[in-house]
Chain A
Amino acid sequence: DAKTTQPTSMDCAEGRAANLPCNHSTISGNEYVYWYRQIHSQGPQYIIHGLKNNETNEMASLIITEDRKSSTLILPHATLRDTAVYYCIAHSGAGSYQLTFGKGTKLSVIP
Chain B
Amino acid sequence: DGGITQSPKYLFRKEGQNVTLSCEQNLNHDAMYWYRQDPGQGLRLIYYSQIVNDFQKGDIAEGYSVSREKKESFPLTVTSAQKNPTAFYLCATRGTPSNQPQHFGDGTRLSIL
Interface residue B104 (Cβ < 8 Å from any Cβ of A): yes
Interface core residue of A49, A101, A102 (most chain B CB under 10 Å): A101
Known: A97-B48, A101-B42, A102-B42. Contact between A44 and B104, CB under 8 A?
yes
Whether the pair A46, B102 counts as a contact (CB closer than 8 A) is yes
Question: How does the 8 Å CB contact mask read for B32-66 relative to A, with 1 for contact and 0 for none?
Answer: 01000000001101001010000010110000000
Please give the residue numbers on chain B whose beta carbons come within 8 Å of chain A beta carbons, in ascending order: 1, 6, 31, 33, 42-43, 45, 48, 50, 56, 58-59, 88, 90, 92, 97-107, 109
Q: In the bound complex, what is the Cα–Cα distance between A44 and B88 (angstroms)?
A: 12
Contact of B99 among A32, A44, A97, A98 (CB under 8 A): A32
Interface size in chain A (residues, C-beta < 8 A): 21
Whether the pair B104, A43 counts as a contact (CB closer than 8 A) is yes
Contact of A93 among B48, B97, B103, B105 (CB under 8 A): B97
Q: Given A98-B33, A98-B45, 5 more contacts at CB 8 Å? A: A97-B45, A99-B92, A100-B42, A101-B42, A102-B42
Question: How does the 8 Å CB contact mask read for A81-111 relative to B, with 1 for contact and 0 for none?
Answer: 0000000000011100111111100000000
Whether the pair A42, B99 counts as a contact (CB closer than 8 A) is no
A103 CB to nearest B CB, Å: 7
Whether the pair A42, B107 counts as a contact (CB closer than 8 A) is yes
Known: A98-B58, A102-B42. Contact between A43 and B107, CB under 8 A?
yes
Residues in B with CB closer than 8 Å to A45 are 1, 104
Contact of A46 among B1, B43, B50 (CB under 8 A): B1
Interface core residue of A36, A43, A51, A99 (most chain B CB under 10 Å): A43
Which A residues between 1 and 55 are near B, CB-CB below 8 angstroms? Answer: 32, 34, 36, 41-46, 49, 51
Closest B residue, CB atoms, query A91: B99
